[in-house]
Structure 1
Amino acid sequence: MQSLETQLLVLGGGPGGYVTAIRAGQLGIPTVLVEAQTLGGTCLNVGCIPSKALIHVAERFHQLSEPNEFGISGGQPRLDLGQAIAWKDRTVDRLTSGVGALLKKHRVQVIHGHGQIVDGKTVQVGDTRIHCQHLVLATGSRGMSLPGLAIGGPIVDSTQALSPETLPRHLAVIGGGYIGLELGTAYRKLGAQVTIVEAQPRLLPAYDSELTAPVVTRLRNLGIKVLTENRVEGYDAAGQRLRLRSGSGDTASLEVDRVLVAVGRTPHTGGYGLERLDLDSAGKAVKVDGGCRTSMTGVWAIGDLTGEPMLAHRAMAQGEMVAELIAGKRRSFAPAAIPAVCYTDPEIVVAGLTPDQAGADAKVASFPFAANGRAMTLGDTSGFVRVVARPGDHLILGWQAVGPGVSELAAAFTQSLEMGARLEDIAGTIHAHPTLGEAVQEAALRALGQALHI
């Protein structure tokens, strides 16, 4: 048995884990990072990055296939699925190799293997036992399963859906959240027939119906069938039949040759020996304080392991903070907002409070992309930008948007909330023309009763 001593041990090399290790290295903290699979975790390898790459391929293919009013015509495009997946994989490889280079640059020792917790100061990887002063748990999350739909064969999870060898004729997507809609839309644009099955009364139930309406309209226009208030009771692989039961109790079957289970994610707590630690928990999530400290001294937890919102950028911010706390700096995790983005068609971005959360007295105003010159030149005027502000002093409380490319507005939304901006600050800022960002200024102007272009 080999023995290794370090000041900091990070268990998990996803966005939260590797950022913790890099920042700790920058601060001169001797650090060991343990990762069982490829650096980058779910996000870089089988989540955020590859899914957006596949979405981009699907959109490009669909644009070439779809009749348009731009005066562009040509023959029917042909999809080389293998080449598309290879491009997606090369994109992922560039990023993961970059993470490895950064860790090496900052003198982080990376140990590839499955870490097993012995106690709050010790982790064993193979025949190596690592002793540490600080242990950061960054084990992430895993996809949830459904009874009667064991992953295998024609039943796939989001990981397998990102690397298909062939396109299905008819794909059933179980789950109408952002993962299901993103991948379902991509498959439809690549040429598959798609049906989305959701147990709740509407899709994307975490967002208000005004935000999701343009997405639902686009799904309908793409020919995607949506079955809400339906639960899956099983799948007959031989007959390629998905068995459903509606909210009223009626049963039905759907002929599909592939089923994607996308019903959400849960903290990854199994297989690491977490049960050997005396940790407080909230459900399956590990409870932490404002500094990501657990109930055990010297043991920290970050990212999806600590529950919602399960977002890579939240994990990164937490990891950076933890490294600085271990280095003796004064820090706490108290963001004004954590933006959330759905890469649906059109995209959705939310930062801060929604109108319902802000209360009936809040000032709420929207500006439609139908009145935005840049949206018109893109040939897509669906959606809007919406601002929520406090009535007395006009402090901005939240932003929401749905429309083409609005994910790129997330930083501006969040920055305005962090800086305590008021409606007058945004309204008085000169925005470049023509840009989608002008809708941000126009929403603020409209909230002040000064809208110029509507």
Structure 2
Amino acid sequence: MTYDLVVLGSGPGGYAAAFRAADLGLSVAMIERHNTLGGVCLNVGCIPSKALLHVAGKILMAEEPAHGVQFAKPTINLEDIRQHRQSTVDTLTGGLTMMAKGRKVTVIHGEGTFDSTNSITVTKDGQSQQVDFKNAIIAVGSRAIKLPFVPYDDPRILDATSALQLERIPEHLLVLGGGIIGVEMATVYQALGAKITVAELGEQIMTGADKDLVRVFEQVNKDRMSFLTKTQVTNIEATPEALNVTMQDKDGERSLSVDAVLVAVGRSPNGKTAGISDIGVKLDERGFVLTNEKCQTSVPNIYAIGDVTHGPMLAHKASHQGHTAAEVIAGHKVDFQPLAIPSIAYTFPEVAWVGLTETEAKKQNIAIKTAVFPWTASGRAIASGVTQGKTKLIYDEATERVLGAGVVGSHAGELLGELTLAIEFGATLEDIALTIHAHPSLHETVGLAAELGAGTITDMPNKKAGEMNKAP
């Protein structure tokens, strides 16, 4: 048969597109090269890493003083931790299989390659079949970037996938790359007993987040990890005793001997695979598929979503793109034009941001102001012992419209929902300040930050009080 839609890839974007299209009445096939659905995110990415970060959080909480309660040193059973990770993955991937069956989405396992703008050949175990379609969605994701000087055949070299297996906990782990993946896995391994050094080529870890948020994270973790910024790793020599690492920083060349290295220097799109460019789909020089606001490529009946397209490589971006592409194919008049895509580092404390950052505003010469509410003034934070945090609103200087936000602290990522919605709706400081937030709560800090910026704050000294005491 010829399907209305074939989706190449079953990650968060791929399955979202396939399921949405099926709900809209299209005949759909989904091609996945692995034996389980869910792509990198569900199988070897965001889901298993969060399962391990949950365990790490329990360990770190047990280490902290609990105001009159003393916990014994945790006993760590790696096998049980691995089982928790895998059961989390199995629950979600199994659910996807059931939903595909329920929606009558045909799932085809194997390696898919475009033959033309209307057919894909799927190969598995030496057997091939042709799948014909009217429309296709490319959802092939991305892969970890590899460095030429890294001896990847050495089992002490880890990537984001192998690190999740927890085969062993090294005495000293070097994390090469201070992005979200790097610092999250550093958090896990540190909690499980490893000494951690993070080497980042850029000026700061967690590139993309504002420095003031990152600074809080670094301060909290200064005794747990070492952070080396503006540091380039130039060579790794494997010996039977250790991995000898050569690094270059502002002071010159230095050496470091470690027991393992986690390479987490970023990801590269898979646009140059699967015969995508051979059928006329345009790519940029890095391999990203070029799309318009309807997720449509240069070939009208071929669409692309997720990591293989420009924008942040985040599962929630991919799933929303998947909905858009499926709806366009079904004849709906929709575009993918988000004003804000949230980012979260699920570390301890969490670092989260959405919309315009201060750094971006300065680069673009956008006139902004900020309102920062410190958690040292939050009743819930004080009662819970999590005062090392803050909530920041970034707003237009002239209109006070909220353009961005950043939060660092316990469960910071959970506060981004309201803030993302506020940006999408064009909310102002007053809109948020006049929204009643529950007391005492951490999300109350969003409202208090807005009150601080609007000049109506009573929970802190009000610097704008003189401006506000005139009758309207």
- TM-score, with length taken from structure 1: 0.96
SS in 1 for 2:222: helix
Q: Superposition pairs for residues 8-407 of structure 1, below 5 Å?
A: 8-37=5-34, 38-64=36-62, 66-126=63-123, 127-152=128-153, 153-222=155-224, 224-238=225-239, 239-248=241-250, 250-282=252-284, 283-358=286-361, 359=365, 361-407=367-413
CA distance in 1, matches of 2:406, 2:64: 31
Deviations 1:322-354 (A, max 9, x none): 111111111001112111111122111111112
Structure 1 residue runs of 4 or more that deviate by more than 6 Å after TM superposition: none
CA distance in 1, matches of 2:235, 2:366: 44
CA distance in 1, matches of 2:341, 2:74: 40
Deviation at 1:368, TM superposition (A): 0.7
Contact 2:151–2:238 (8 Å) recurs in 1: no
SS in 2 for 1:285: coil
Question: CA 1:67–1:354 in 2, change beyond 3 Å: closer, same or farther?
Answer: closer
Question: CA 1:142–1:336 in 2, change beyond 3 Å: closer, same or farther?
Answer: same
Deviation at 1:395, TM superposition (A): 1.7
Deviation at 1:74, TM superposition (A): 4.0
CA distance in 2, matches of 1:393, 1:279: 42
CA distance in 1, matches of 2:367, 2:226: 38
CA distance in 1, matches of 2:252, 2:398: 51
Q: In structure 1, what is the equivalent of residue 426 of structure 2? A: 420
SS in 2 for 1:147: coil
CA distance in 2, matches of 1:430, 1:192: 44
CA distance in 2, matches of 1:234, 1:281: 32
Question: CA 1:215–1:67 in 2, change beyond 3 Å: closer, same or farther?
Answer: closer
Contact 1:151–1:157 (8 Å) recurs in 2: no
CA distance in 2, matches of 1:150, 1:24: 44
Q: Which amino acid aligns with 2:440?
A: P
Contact 2:21–2:28 (8 Å) recurs in 1: yes
Deviations 1:386-437 (A, max 9, x none): 1122233322111111111011011111111112211111111110111111
Q: In structure 1, what is the equivalent of residue 464 of structure 2? A: none
Deviation at 1:27, TM superposition (A): 0.5
Deviation at 1:102, TM superposition (A): 1.2
Question: CA 1:225–1:339 in 2, change beyond 3 Å: closer, same or farther?
Answer: same
Identical counterparts, % of pairs? 39
CA distance in 1, matches of 2:79, 2:91: 18
Give the total of aligned pairs. Answer: 449
CA distance in 1, matches of 2:87, 2:12: 19
CA distance in 1, matches of 2:366, 2:24: 47
Deviation at 1:441, TM superposition (A): 0.5
Q: Which amino acid aligns with 2:43?
A: N
Contact 2:271–2:283 (8 Å) recurs in 1: no
Greater shift, 141-150 or 21-30, is seen at 141-150
The answer for unaligned runs of 5 or more in structure 1 is none
Q: In structure 1, what is the equivalent of residue 456 of structure 2? A: 450
Q: In structure 1, what is the equivalent of residue 469 of structure 2? A: none
Contact 1:366–1:387 (8 Å) recurs in 2: yes
Contact 1:232–1:242 (8 Å) recurs in 2: no
Deviation at 1:67, TM superposition (A): 4.6
Contact 1:241–1:253 (8 Å) recurs in 2: no
CA distance in 1, matches of 2:106, 2:82: 31
CA distance in 1, matches of 2:88, 2:409: 26
CA distance in 2, matches of 1:271, 1:396: 40
The answer for unaligned runs of 5 or more in structure 2 is 461-472
Q: Which amino acid aligns with 1:168?
A: P
CA distance in 2, matches of 1:392, 1:329: 37
CA distance in 2, matches of 1:216, 1:69: 22
Deviation at 1:61, TM superposition (A): 1.9
CA distance in 2, matches of 1:80, 1:319: 39
CA distance in 1, matches of 2:193, 2:384: 23
Deviation at 1:357, TM superposition (A): 3.5
Contact 2:277–2:283 (8 Å) recurs in 1: no
Deviation at 1:356, TM superposition (A): 4.1
Deviations 1:80-99 (A, max 9, x none): 00110111110011011111
User: RMSD between aligned alpha carbons?
Assistant: 1.5
CA distance in 1, matches of 2:389, 2:71: 30
SS in 2 for 1:99: helix
Greater shift, 241-250 or 363-372, is seen at 241-250
Greater shift, 50-59 or 149-158, is seen at 149-158
Q: Which amino acid aligns with 1:155?
A: I
CA distance in 2, matches of 1:101, 1:291: 29
CA distance in 2, matches of 1:63, 1:45: 27
CA distance in 2, matches of 1:211, 1:442: 18
CA distance in 2, matches of 1:281, 1:270: 8
Deviation at 1:311, TM superposition (A): 0.7
- TM-score, with length taken from structure 2: 0.92
Deviation at 1:230, TM superposition (A): 2.0
Deviation at 1:228, TM superposition (A): 2.0
Q: Which amino acid aligns with 1:401?
A: V
Q: Which amino acid aligns with 2:24?
A: L
Contact 2:112–2:121 (8 Å) recurs in 1: yes
Contact 1:243–1:251 (8 Å) recurs in 2: no
